[in-house]
Structure 1
């Protein structure tokens, strides 16, 4: 009787650490102010020891510790290392960034930062942290956004931070955003965010007049790779994103993460995904030595959440109104993982 050999083929999974992987993240850190009163910054007096927030050195240090702890864990489960790039929103100045990267959870890494003061009336800006061992800075500048109200009066908002550099051998162009808020109502402020999207695309077209961002077969030297990250104060399905950005050569890597039970922030018990990472179509490629997009996620670990009460599961905030809660931020970070071919 002949032997019958039954062969079982197993699909072997390659550990993610076998790839060169890099995390690109964005985090709205909810009013990262120091304790010094800057008379030129609106609301700054609130964030002092004797202000309405009772913002003491102890609370400031606790905030720095928590934010640095969160940053150190973004994407770590996939890459086994700290993020290569982190865009930030709601930072006051260079001092808070310097203090942040000197925290024990980050100090062993080779982080540096980019920051420009913007005309925002709240005194909060966007910023850019980067690991100097994997990202080579070539150029940076603030891109001013011009908005006017119905009376033609200037409406100040955050600048967009533009950064050009080389990430793991691949040239990239990065835009860090914090678009106008919905404080006066979503419908009332929609036009502002649509206008910011339009001005951003105009800036991008100046850098990429040949529209190379839509081609995914160009060599590293020829390609124009773009990453747009930020707190857009709009969801992926809103016009400012869906019609204002994506048709011009971009994919929203984070759009599919939003659902009824999940987002990057929660307002009135409804999840939103205002924090997003968009990439040029050129970052879907198989060009040798080039970076390519692998996956995106929300870092919404239990450590960043309310543990109990009616707000259980929502972001653990530093403040709710004027009440100090001692949490991380009212937003969860979002991130994208890039691999190298």
Structure 2
């Protein structure tokens, strides 16, 4: 009997398959046939130099990226037409299946290249009276007699307000609401929305014409009540919620695009709860990654397709790739590899009593009890607390009763991520302990410790020496590990900023 069970277990795992799904905005992959829908700089054989030479470079660069990712399914955005997709298939014979959609008057479309069988395709129309964008491509795949869907998206850019992206999200959510609750589906593509869009766009009057409602967060329900859907509760919600895989990465690694050094996450892979239930097909925990070899990303820059000249007179240089980095995640039909919920439940039983524990959570399901928290910085309503031999964290508002240099036992009820910084949003004082006279001993020495390391966020540092130039401190200290680096300086009152050339 034992041998029979063992053989059955081995047989199930022999036939289990792992596979990779990727998404890549190839940035304006046009061909050399004039169709009167191209962007001006991609009209063939004009002064912009969109010619055979530059076309060959661009499409071969796209092929290199797709080959190197080696995904089983890759969703592509900004592809001009089916002819370009067919050329990609010719250059990438390992992909046996493809699909593509585009409106006839649109400049670009989107599609899939796949090694896994595509059963059928469906076009979800999202139309406006005054603008033309792209449909959403719904493709159904079949693997080992298991069916799943992927929805390829390319939502409107941020040249226009959020209401346009909300309409895309509503159309998509309407379609998803018709699927069975336990159906496996994945939302991928260029959503032109950050995973935390409701926070990053809130004060942008040009974008926020929806009273703070965003397509990616409030309509697709990657958040509920301003809290991210996480492993802790994704299977518990009655509403149709979704889990955004950006939450699987450290905050410092969350970017697929850079705009003036600012990290953005326009490209997303978003999962239905069914992909976390270990039935049929499931996501492999922590497998989500950004594909960024040094030919795509170097010196904090995404190496996009290069053009020179003015805005209205662009000329192709014949170098570069895309302004987006590809993203990918791994999935499996094996139940042994795909049980993040079980792992989370096991870890959730661990008491949270260190500040460093708070950095491992996106939100708190149960309050954390933090003992011996020393106030090392105090403003009128905010504070920074730190435990000896552990980390520091900022308390946003409501810290009026805390006193500088005192130790406390705190009950932390809520935490938030604000622009990549972890903060305590709600807490209560359980006990005020003794005064910690030498609280400055908890500051970190910037000569010896790398303050740019994300593990040192919210710390207070000393021994920073340098010269001020254009609101940056340029470190000029041969004894410092930061020598030669620069730090941007901020102040609520700009009059408090040091003057240029001040040391």
Tell me if both proteins adopt one fold, taking TM over 0.5 as the criterion: yes
Kindly indicate whether residue 282 of structure 2 is the aligned counterpart of residue 292 of structure 1.
yes
**Is 1:198 paired with 2:198?**
no
Q: Are the counterparts in 1 of residues 248 and 288 from structure 2 also a CA contact under 8 Å?
A: no
Structure 1 residue 163: Cα displacement: 0.7
Query: What secondary structure sits across from 2:302 in the alignment?
Result: coil
Distance change (3 Å), C-alpha of 1:156 and 1:333? same
The whole-number CA distance in structure 2 between the counterparts of 1:99 and 1:257 is 34
How many Å apart are 1:26 and its aligned residue?
0.4
Counterparts of residues 69-88 of structure 1 (less than 5 Å): 69-74=64-69, 82-88=70-76
TM-score with structure 2 setting the length: 0.52
Greater RCO (Cα-Cα under 8 Å, separation 6 or more): 1
Q: 1:235 to 1:102 in 2, by over 3 A?
A: same
Aligned to 2:219: 244
Two-structure CA RMSD over aligned residues (Å): 2.2
Deviation, structure 1 residue 168 = 4.2
Does 2:87 align with 1:115? Answer: no
In structure 1, the residue corresponding to 2:165 is in which secondary structure?
helix
Q: 2:170 aligned with 1:180, yes or no?
A: no
**1:126 & 1:258 partners in 2: Cα distance?**
29
Q: Look up the match of 2:79.
A: 91
Following the alignment from structure 1 to structure 2, what is the Cα–Cα distance between the partners of residues 34 and 243? 38
Which residue of structure 2 lines up, in the alignment, with residue 124 of structure 1?
108
Equivalent residue for 2:29, pick from 27, 32, 52: 32
Separation in structure 1 between the aligned mates of residue 257 and residue 281 of structure 2, nearest angstrom: 29
Instruction: Give 2:181's match in structure 1, choosing from 212, 228, 235.
Output: 212
Q: How many residues align?
A: 280
Partner deviation per Cα, 1:125-180 (whole Å, 9 max, x = no partner) = 1111111xxx2222102111033xxxxx4322110001112134321011100000
> Secondary structure, in 3 states, of the residue corresponding to 1:98?
helix
What is the Cα deviation at residue 235 of structure 1?
A: 0.2
Question: 1:44 offset after TM fit, Å?
Answer: 5.8
Change (3 A) 1:111 1:303: farther
1:317 aligns with 2:304: yes
> Does the aligned pair in 1 maintain the 2:95–2:113 contact within 8 Å?
no
How has the CA–CA distance of structure 1 residues 84 and 313 changed in structure 2, closer, same or farther, with 3 Å as cutoff? same
Match of 1:66 among 48, 61, 64: 61
1:136–1:166: 8 Å Cα contact kept in structure 2? yes
1:142 aligns with 2:142: no
Give me the TM-score of the superposition, normalised by structure 1: 0.76
- Residues of 2 paired with 1:284 and 1:261: CA distance? 23
Q: For residues 265-289 of structure 1, what are the alpha-carbon distances to aligned partners after superposition, in whole Å with 9 as ceiling and x for unaligned?
A: 11122010110101111011233xx
Equivalents in 2 of 1:50, 1:230: separation in Å?
31
Q: Which runs of 5+ in 1 are unaligned?
A: 1-16, 75-81, 148-152, 214-223, 307-311
CA positional deviation for 1:45? 6.6
Deviation at 1:296, TM superposition (A): 0.8
- SS of 1:27 mapped into structure 2: strand
CA distance in 1, matches of 2:173, 2:253: 32
Structure 1 runs (4+) greater than 6 angstroms displaced: none
Distance 2:171 2:47 in 1: 37
CA distance in 1, matches of 2:120, 2:148: 11
Q: Per the alignment, do residues 141 and 259 of structure 1 end up closer, same or farther by CA in structure 2, a change over 3 Å counting?
A: same
> Do the aligned residues in 2 keep the contact of 1:266 with 1:272 (CA within 8 Å)?
yes
TM-superposed deviation, 1:190: 1.1
Task: Name the CA distance, whole Å, in 1 between partners of 2:192 and 2:140.
Answer: 24
Quote the Cα distance in structure 2 between the aligned partners of 1:57 and 1:42: 16
1:339 match? 332
Residues 194-217 of structure 1, C-alpha deviations (whole Å, 9 max, x = no match)? 1211111001223x1xx414xxxx
